[in-house]
Structures are given as structure tokens and as C-alpha cells.
Structure 1
Amino acid sequence: MRLIADRTHDHCRTLNHEPDRKNSPYSNPSAMTHSHNENLGYIYGIIAVTAFAITLPAMRVALSVFDPVFVALGRGTGAAVLASIFLWSTRQRLPTRDEARGLIIVAAGAVIGFPLLAAWAMLYVDASHGGVVLGILPLATAVAAALFSGERPSARFWLFALAGAGLVVGYSLNRAGGTLHMADLALFGSIVCASVSYAEGARLSKTLGGPQVISWALVFSFPVLIVPTIHYAPATLDLPLEPLLGFLYLTAISQYLGFFPWYHGLALGGISKVSQTQLLQPFLTIIASVLILEEHADFMTWLVATLVVAIVAIGKRSQVKHHEIKPATMADTVS
């Protein structure tokens, strides 16, 4: 009788089209949460990349008046003041010893190394050229994530990452007539600095929080930044408005606020995957260069940009294995 009842129950499930809960996508809340976090990570990443895309054009404008050392390190000094206000007003906890070691790496790469090398390069090449060379930064960040943060991207991921980087670098070489400028070496150095600091900052963001990571990194950097900033500061503030605005953008957005969504996005969606949104940055930089510096962008630029967008969209579906650590939320910025 029980066998007949079971068969009758199965028959009724078939007639009523009762869903198989075991195979339903709604039966795995963990997978849904991961997908939600990944999508949010991409959104935060795109917001940050849009902010970072104006960095090189703003730097070119600022360098028309300011000393390159002041542009590179002065922005960090100003951002450190903003960071101190944030940390004090929100009563943030002190970093642990392990977190402090990681923050030194972030400070060395994102606050000192990248700005110095990028500022020197912008003395010799256009902002649009520099932006395209930085197109290999997403690939470098994925490598750094694999080396230092325990992420293990799939072969499919590396295929699309290499395709995107190859497309951008090929575009850069084509624009440069097949040769690279000496300033490109500085840009490559800045890529190493940025990629390592991004991977380490994202790792720290999972326990410390994105805003806290860049804030503490800036505070740690302040003793190193303050002396050269004062030494290379302009003798007068009676300066043209555009260079001042460019420097203020570098200070408030490029060196500070832009890292809030960036580190949070990397922590939420995974360093390897979300970092690929930076493949869009060269073309956003070109748009900014056209609008701010009146540089030219032709049909080939927009064609390559379209292909890169497609690569990012397809590569998003690639698998990346990593150690799960509960990411800090934006609500964690206030303790």
C-alpha cells in the first residue's frame, strides 16, 4: 500500500508540474548570494574605473604648472588629511599587526609607486597613450591575485584576460608605430605597483573594509610624503584654475574616494574578475582626453573599445576558485 501511495504522489507531482527543489536555482541560497555579490562587485568596479579613467588627463593638466614630484606625492598628502578626518570621525579600529603589514604594501604601490611613475611618464606621452598602455593592468592584477590572494582562475578566464590585454596592447603598439616610448617602461612599473597593491588591498578589504584600507594606507604614507611635498610645493597659490582643479581631482578622487568602491568591489566579486572592468579604462581615458585635452579618437578606437566590452562581458562567466572570506560591507565603515 505504501508503494502505491508513493507512486500516486509522484504521479500527482508530475501532473501538477511541481518543481524539483533539489535542482531548482532557488534551492541554493549560497550560489545566489555569490552571484549577487559578484554582480555588485562589477557595478562598484565600473564606478571606480570611471573615476580612475580621468586620472591621467587630470595629471597632464596639473603637470602644466606643478612639479611632477608634487603632483605625485602631494596628492597623497592631501588625501591623507581627508583619510585622517574619516578615520577619526567614524572612530575606526586600529589595524591588526597582519593588516598593518599589508597596508604598507598598499601604501608603497598605490600611494607612492604608481603616482610617481605615472607622473614621470605623463611628461613625455599623451594621456590617451598612457591610458592604453595601462590596459594590461587587469591581467597584471589577476596574476597578482593568483600569486598573493589565493585565487585560482580557470583556463577560460585566462584566455579572455589574455585576449583583452593583447587587444589593448596591440592597439597601443599600432598607435605608437610599433615601438614603445621610454615612458612606457615607467608605465609598466606603475602597473606592477598598482596590481600588487590592488590585490593586497582587496584581501584586506574583506576584513578591514575598503574605505579603511585606503585611509590607513594614506595615513601610514604621510610621514614619507610630507617632506617632499613641502619641498616641491609651488611658491604661490596664484595659479591657473584648470591645473588646480586637476590636482584637486587627483587628491580627492584618484587617490582617495575612487578606492572606496574599487576595493569594495574587488572584495565582493573577486579580484581576478572585477579587475577585468579596468579593460574599459583606456577607452574611458581616451574619452576624457578628448573632452578635457582635446585629443582625437577615431573609428578604430571605438571599435577596439567595443570588442573589449564584449570580452569583459563574456569573461564574466568564467570560473574563479578562491578562499571564501566574508567581505566587509559599506555599512562596516562606521564601527
Structure 2
Amino acid sequence: MERASKLQNLGMEKTASGWLNGFIGVLIFSGSLPATRLAVLEFDPVFLTVARATIAGLLALCMLVLFKEKRPARGDLLPLAIVALGVVVGFPLLTALALQYVTSAHSIVFVGLLPLATAAFGVLRGGERPRPVFWFFSVLGSALVVGFAFSQGLTASPTGDILMLLAILACGLGYAEGAKLSRTLGGWQVISWALVLSLPVMIPLTWYLAPPSFSGITTSAWVCLAYVSVFSMLVGFVFWYRGLAQGGIAAVGQLQLLQPFFGLALAATLLHEQVSIGMLGVTVAVILCVAGARRFSK
């Protein structure tokens, strides 16, 4: 009886730790889209993608060497490649391209789709089985997001919205695959090895795609590049993957419902972008739906 009680307490502590780590990760990620939006005003989006991956990858390599981490097993290489394609290349590149067509405030609304995408890939790749009511709330929230995009007519930029939808799919897959691998490899080790795995491609591309001169680049653009390289690409994932592994992919993944709030606040504060009442209303509705999904995630 006492042993069972201790195990239950340990499980509760692990779950609470998972939610805390997940919250910190989401808070860090919330600055990614506004920072990317500012950066692509002065950097080519493809160069921005490979440069941030190169910077983060070199930092990750230093960490792995410093802590003398063992190389991943051969069976871990494919999952690590999927993580790299999803969150090192796919999401950063697609969002950078999308933000040439849409504002960061508009793109942030699409983040409401991330909990559903993460949960879906959590079932496919992580073996989780949320209750049926969970899917009702998740699908309803996703429908609200897509409905909002269509309500804008898509005349301004259907290309931007399609790119954002593809980015969400890539990110959801990368999140779920990384969380599954984190259970055995460790949270910060997963993103570090994924970044290192991409270096042989990213370093040459960074050199090849670099502009002839950086003299016209402003300080704010450099700061944004530093943020998306160090925090969005590395530090945020250290907390996020640990949280998903500890608390469950589908459950902790619902914390992404907070990201639109933080992101919209940053877009309005730092970029002075207009955040419409309709955009806020959809974001709140999506958050309520995903909150319901979280309750029935197990």
C-alpha cells in the first residue's frame, strides 16, 4: 500500500514537472513568429532557416561534447531525421516563407491547430489513445481556426495560409517524434542530435546563401536571428520535449493553446500589428476547445 502511494506521488510529481516544462517551452516558442516576421524583412527566408539551424547546431554540438553524451543508437537515426525535417527545417522554413505573405498576428492563429496535429501524431507515433471526447474538442478548435482563415477570404494571401498549414503538420510530427524519442534519449539530447545531424547540410547552405554584404542589416534583425537560433531552435525544445515526455504528448501538447495569446500580445506590442476583435475571438474560442480536449486527453 505504501509503495503504491509512493509510486502515485512520483507519477503526480512527474506530471506536474511535465506541465511546468511544457509551459516554459510554449512561452519561449511564443516569440518565434514575431521574431521571424521581423527577421525576414531583412534576411532571405531560406537563408534565415539554414543560418538559425547552423547556429543552434554548433551550440548543440558544443553541449554534447561538453557533457560527453554517447552517440545515439542506429535505430534512433531515422526518428532523429524526422525530428530534423519537422522542426529544424520544415517548420522554420515554411513559416519564414509564409510570413512574407501574412502578418505574424495572422499566422499565430494557425498555432491553434498545433495541439490537434501534435495529438494526432502522438497517436500515430507515440502510441497514445485519448478518449473520443478529446477528438471532438480538438477537431472543433481546428475547424474554428480554418473557418477564420476562410472568413478572411484568403484573397490577401492563400499562399501564406497554405504554407502555415503545412508548417503546422511538419511541426506536429516533429514534436510527437521528438517526445517519443525523449523517453529514452533525453529531452535536450533529442533536439541537440537532430540539429547536429542537420549540420552537414546546413553549414554549406548557410555559406552559399549568405548575402554578399551584411552592412545594411539592422540590430533588431540580428537580435531576432539570435532569438530564433538560440531560444526557438534549441532552448525552447529542451523544456518542450522534456515536458511532452513527462506528461504525455496529447495532454501537455494542449499547452500550445497559450501560445496564440502570448504571440498576439508580442505582435501587437513589438511589431505594432493590428489584432482584430475577430482574431481575438477565434483565438479565445480555440483555447476553450483545446482546454476541453485537455481534460479528456487520457
Q: What is the TM-score normalised by the length of structure 1?
A: 0.82
Partner of 2:262: 284
Which stretch of the first structure deviates more once superposed, 301-310 or 265-274? 301-310
In structure 2, do the counterparts of structure 1 residues 34 and 166 end up closer, same or farther at CA, with 3 Å as the change threshold? farther
The residue correspondences of 1:220-235 to structure 2 (distance < 5 A) are 220-235=197-212
**Partner secondary structure for residue 253 of structure 1:** helix
Kindly indicate whether structure 1 or structure 2 has the higher relative contact order, using CA contacts under 8 Å at least 6 residues apart.
Answer: 2
Aligned partner of 1:108 among 74, 78, 85: 85
Partner of 2:19: 42
Aligned partner of 2:135 among 151, 155, 158: 158
Structure 2 distance, partners of 1:34, 1:181, is 45
Deviation for aligned residue 1:151: 0.6
Structure 2 distance, partners of 1:36, 1:307, is 30
Q: Is the 8 A contact 1:132 1:169 kept in 2?
A: no
Partner of 2:275: 297
Q: Is the 8 A contact 2:109 2:283 kept in 1?
A: no
Aligned partner of 1:255 among 214, 233, 237: 233
Matched, 1:195 2:195: no
Partner of 2:31: 54
Matched, 1:182 2:183: no
Structure 2 distance, partners of 1:81, 1:308, is 37
Structure 2 distance, partners of 1:142, 1:167, is 17
Q: How many residues align?
A: 296
1:123-171 deviation per Cα after TM superposition (whole angstroms, max 9, x unaligned) = 1111111111232111011111111111111112212222332333334
Partner of 1:267: 245
Partner of 1:207: 184
Structure 2 distance, partners of 1:31, 1:303, is 39
1:217-272 deviation per Cα after TM superposition (whole angstroms, max 9, x unaligned) = 00000011112211121333332111111111110011111101100000001001
In structure 2, do the counterparts of structure 1 residues 314 and 134 end up closer, same or farther at CA, with 3 Å as the change threshold? closer
The residue correspondences of 1:28-177 to structure 2 (distance < 5 A) are 28-174=5-151, 176-177=152-153
Q: What is the TM-score normalised by the length of structure 2?
A: 0.92
Partner of 1:244: 222
Identity within the alignment, %: 40
In structure 2, do the counterparts of structure 1 residues 210 and 33 end up closer, same or farther at CA, with 3 Å as the change threshold? same
**Partner secondary structure for residue 213 of structure 2:** coil
Deviation for aligned residue 1:306: 4.1
Structure 1 distance, partners of 2:116, 2:11, is 23
Deviation for aligned residue 1:304: 4.2
Structure 2 distance, partners of 1:298, 1:277, is 23
**Partner secondary structure for residue 295 of structure 2:** coil
Structure 1, gaps ≥5 residues long: 1-20, 321-335
In structure 2, do the counterparts of structure 1 residues 171 and 30 end up closer, same or farther at CA, with 3 Å as the change threshold? farther
Structure 2, gaps ≥5 residues long: none
Structure 2 distance, partners of 1:172, 1:184, is 7
Deviation for aligned residue 1:292: 1.4
Q: What letter is aligned with 2:249?
A: I
Which stretch of the first structure deviates more once superposed, 226-235 or 263-272? 226-235
The RMSD of aligned alpha carbons is 2.1
In structure 2, do the counterparts of structure 1 residues 293 and 102 end up closer, same or farther at CA, with 3 Å as the change threshold? same
Deviation for aligned residue 1:54: 1.1
Structure 2 distance, partners of 1:178, 1:140, is 22
Matched, 1:316 2:294: yes
Structure 2 distance, partners of 1:193, 1:316, is 22
